[in-house]
Chains A and B, each alone.
Chain A
Amino acid sequence: MPNQRRSLHRSKEAIVAVAAVVGALTLAWRLASPGETDQAAATAPASVVAVPATARTTSVPEATTSAARPAALPAGLTADQWQTLQQRVEPGPLHDREVARIVDFLEFQQDVVHLRELRADPGALDERRALAARIDAGIATHLALQEISAPEATLLKTAVLAETEPDPTQRATRLADWRRQWASDHPPTIDPRVAEYRRQEAAAVAAWQSGPPSQRDPAQLARRLQQLQSAAFDPRP
């Protein structure tokens, strides 16, 4: 079991690493390709610290005939959506991979919707179980890619267990175990800047409190704290 867990853990790390590399490359590509920034971003002053890679228009562009179309549309996508997707994912060496990622996610989403719709159908037990198994197999990947949040994953896991684990106590136990394991594997990130800020904040407050109450200027302390915050957390120009 420990070996299996280590292997699983390594697999998860590999997925996360791949996701991070894809994300970094996508980010780099977008930063180098400002073509789809909206007007505000395009006219932003030079003092903007960073142009977020997420900048883009929110209006859906009109479809063109130049978009590549597969022989059969991916499940869950209309022809217009497929064209929109082709257009709105930036061109470049990562384009096809990114489109494939999104298509995979949309298929996963369609499975989830389908399972939801079938829940009220007592005659669809086998289909629901098959869907549940497929969803279960995809949760870790979509979590690692940050396409779903951990609370969303909890709901998905709950839905999966509702189909695959008949015993209510076992369902809850398995869900609790999954949550516990996930939490253990993914503790809150620690911001290395916080410890130093804490020390400086404590010193500033202590100095402020050391004076007689009549001489404690709250505004002065507020300004000092904000200086410390900016120095600790804001990027240097």
Chain B
Amino acid sequence: MSHCQTVRTAMLFPSRTAARPECTAPDAAATRPAPRRRAPIARWLAAAALVVAMPAQAAWFVWTMVELPMSSGASCGNGTPYRFFVNTTPFSGNTAITFEGGGACWAQRACEGQGQYSATNPDGIPTNYMSQVNSAAGGLVTPFSARLDPFQGVSTQGWNLVYMPYCTGDVHTGNQVAVFSEADPANPRVQHFAGQANVRAASAWLRQHLGRPSQLMLTGFSAGGVAATAEYAVVRDALAPTGKTTLLADSGPLFNAPLGGTAAQYPSLPLQTKIRSTWGLDGPQGLIPALMQTLPGLDRNNMGSLNVALAQKYPNDRFGYMLFQADATFSGFSYYDFYPAIQNQPDPNVQKQMMNVLWRQDIAQWTPTLASQPNVSWWIPFYRDFNNSHCLTIVDFSGTGIEDQGYGDVSPFIDANLSHGAVLRKTEADQASDLTRPLSLAMTILSIVLSLFG
């Protein structure tokens, strides 16, 4: 158990035993090479065969809930079943998968959903989650997870839609169970960092029940943006799309942070070091060893190398990354807990500025890496007066333009990636105009509502 470490007073250990390896799904096996991985493969195929669906209503154009069996290893952070939602159409063979965001955690209170920097859905995903107006991100639906959107049209609204709720606090990537008790020893929080099992079991279910998609798009906002990137190979290999395949990762960058470097060199290094151990990413069945077997370009000492490794492994796919230069939320998760000077800064505005300095350093070291691959694009506007400039693809795309280069919003970037058209690499130079740009009507109303309603 060399990978097991104590984090604060948390006890960490590898998650779960294999689920009934005698059960297999022959069709899914076609996408699973590598004899070396026979045991894990058998586990996931078994998971596929054991998936339980509980459709609230089985029909086209209906949000249908799928509950994954615990024996697959799938779980929400609090140990309850993981549920995701599918909305299919008879008119398209394409599939769009959205990973929900909502913070992250590596300590008791944050995993219980308490505090500024905490994880969403600590009590799990109810069966009627899609009927909740105040779900993750304040229920601010992204145009990618909407069939009907009166403010923002995107081509994927005519595709089969898959919505992956977020309840594990591990950006959908973990593979470890932790007992956190540092905040309340009498009432420990048992946290199932089971994101990886959720994604694998859901992918197997989708392959088994929806078949191979024509086009495939993976997207996600915030933590979901990280997930869409980190789990891209897992999902893509499971679904084996026959046509254009695209990643659109919104505001969840995996920055370069090689182990052995320093925080001064790589500001996200302390964060990545923490999550690698806490979420079991390096464990025997963790995400990084698993990806190492399928992505030759992945440097296990640098999670940021995943961006290049994916682009190299899938040269015909498109990889689009988006974020704001002024993002004050993801930067908070990235740096607040790890830089005492930031934590101890009493002025919140100065605190934000300090975090933004690190954020911009990370971005500056990230884009040259992305630029090394011909199928990678990025879209980095300056600021939007909504949600702390965090996430471009929630509510609508207004305020996401790079006007100093002639772009009113992010739509051309989205369209170019989905159509595998021009590779756009845009970073906004103007650091003033966005500050006075008015919000869209939808955002104006919703901003007021959220302040009233929460």
Contacts and interface: CB of A to CB of B under 8 A. Distances in A.
B43 interface: no
Interface string A144-169: 01111111111110110110000011
Contact of B147 (A145, A152, A186): A152
A49 B70 contact: no
Contacts of A52: 51, 53, 55, 58, 66, 205, 209
A63 interface: no
Contacts of B64: 54, 146
Interface stretch (B24-32, B359-367, B407-415): B24-32
Contacts of B90: 60, 84-85, 88-89
B343 to A, nearest CB: 29
Contacts of B69: 49, 230, 233-235
Given A219-B14, A222-B16, A155 B452 contact: no
Interface in A137-193: 143, 145-156, 158-159, 161-162, 168-169, 171-173, 175-176, 179-180, 182-183, 186, 188-191
Contact of B140 (A98, A105, A151): A151
Given A26-B59, A145-B62, A189-B128, A194 B147 contact: no
A23 B151 contact: no
Nearest to A156: B150
A15 interface: no
B127 A209 contact: no
A116 B150 contact: yes
A47 B50 contact: yes
A54 B132 CA distance: 23
A101 interface: yes
B441 interface: yes
A22 interface: yes
Contact-size category for B = 35 or more
A162 B439 CA distance: 14
Contacts of A112: 148-150
Interface residues of A, number: 96
Nearest to B130: A149
Given A147-B62, A149-B131, A230-B71, A172 B448 contact: yes
Contacts of B141: 149, 151-152, 154-155
Contacts of B264: none
Contacts of B209: 38, 40-41, 52, 54-56
A149 B127 CA distance: 13
Interface in B61-103: 61-64, 66, 69-71, 73, 75, 79-81, 85-86, 88, 90-93, 95
A196 B17 CA distance: 22
A122 to B, nearest CB: 14
B131 to A, nearest CB: 5
A158 B12 contact: no
A50 interface: yes
A216 B11 contact: yes
A64 interface: no
A163 to B, nearest CB: 10
B75 A229 contact: yes
A39 B27 contact: yes
20 contacts: A23-B57, A26-B58, A27-B55, A40-B207, A41-B209, A52-B55, A58-B212, A112-B148, A115-B150, A147-B63, A148-B147, A149-B85, A149-B163, A151-B139, A162-B441, A172-B449, A188-B132, A221-B177, A226-B73, A234-B50
Given A158-B150, A223-B16, 10 more contacts: A26-B59, A52-B66, A109-B147, A147-B61, A150-B130, A151-B139, A159-B150, A173-B452, A221-B13, A229-B75
Interface of B: 1, 4, 11-17, 20, 22-28, 49-53, 55-64, 66, 69-71, 73, 75, 79-81, 85-86, 88, 90-93, 95, 123-124, 126-135, 139-141, 145-153, 160, 163, 177, 179, 188, 190, 192, 205, 207-214, 395, 441-442, 444-446, 448-449, 452-453
The 4 A-B pairs with the shortest beta carbon distances in the complex, nearest first, are A218-B13, A53-B58, A23-B57, A40-B27
